[in-house]
Amino acid sequence: MSPGTALLVGGSSEIGFAVLLQLLGATPRRVILAGRPSGELWWNADKLRDAGYDVSTTQYDGGLGVEEIEGMLDRACADAPLELAIVAVGSLSSETFAEGLAVNGVGVSLLLRALVQRTPAQLVLLSSAAAVRPRLSIAAYSLGKQLADSTAVLLARQAAETGVRVLVVRPGFVATRMTADLPVPPLATSAERVARRVAAALERDQTVVWVPRRMGLAVRVLSVMPRRLLPAAWR
């Protein structure tokens, strides 16, 4: 019997795609990429098809409400049960504070709750170190990530009732198109390293994984340092 459907929401995401590739396993397998139409989304879909997966795409926008999310998931999961869901939606460049909160926080939280109701075996959220230590320079992103991260942590605690294992991934800086214009800080990592850490964390049945491992310690240290001593971007 072939494994159930794998869904990547944020189907164009560089980190999300690296994690998906790491976790997909052998063909044949049904894979759904959900996202806004873009060249990156089609390119990812073609790459998976070339590798032998049965791929379809569906539209997801960060502004969707509960009913629209349910409709998207109904269509996506109509043919086979959902086994793996990866949520990689995130934006540092929202035009307004409200949009940043909606895309990174409210939308993702609603999506996570809807996904758990479909009882995939595994749900992976790409959260961020900024969820634990919000930064002024990326306030809407950080606050949105806090909401999404907390939602996932609560859903992980309910795993015994829901049967859904939830992994919250907290990377620091990852070199992708999202960060292409930013200076590279210490502890920067790559999408492939995030994917390998995710696979190892799933094997150990962890609920939270920091990438790199030292990022968790760095965040704890930064949290107790006087902010005035830190560079503006880290406050």
Ligand X SMILES: NC(=O)c1ccc[n+]([C@@H]2O[C@H](COP(=O)([O-])OP(=O)(O)OC[C@H]3O[C@@H](n4cnc5c(N)ncnc54)[C@H](OP(=O)(O)O)[C@@H]3O)[C@@H](O)[C@H]2O)c1
Contact residues: ligand X, CB under 6 A: 10, 12-16, 35-36, 38, 40, 60-62, 88-91, 103, 126, 128, 171, 173-174, 176-179
Q: Which is nearer to ligand X, 80 or 92 (CB)?
A: 92
Identity of residue 216: G
Nearer to ligand X by Cβ, of 82 and 132: the residue is 132
- ∠ CA 20-25-27, rounded to 5°: 110
Q: What is the smallest separation between the CB atom of 96 and ligand X, expressed in angstroms?
A: 12
Q: CB of residue 208 vs ligand X: minimum separation in angstroms?
A: 13
Determine the Cα angle at 169 with ends 166 and 173, to 5°.
Answer: 170
Q: Which candidate, 85, 125, 122, places its Cα nearest to that of 104?
A: 125
Q: Which residue is nearest to ligand X (CB)?
A: 90
- Residue placing its CB nearer to ligand X in the complex, 3 or 222: 222
Q: What is the CA radius of gyration of the chain?
A: 17
For residue 81, the minimal CB distance to ligand X (Å) is 24
Choice between 27 and 235, CB closer to ligand X: 235
The minimum distance between CB 107 and ligand X, in angstroms, equals 7
CB of 228 to ligand X, least distance (A): 25
- State the burial class of residue 151 (Cβ atoms within 10 Å of its Cβ: 0-12, 13-18, 19+): buried
Q: Which residue has the tokens 């150990």?
A: 204
* Residue placing its CB nearer to ligand X in the complex, 53 or 60: 60
Cβ-Cβ contacts under 8 Å for 136 (sequence gap 6 or more):
235
Three-state DSSP class for residue 28: coil
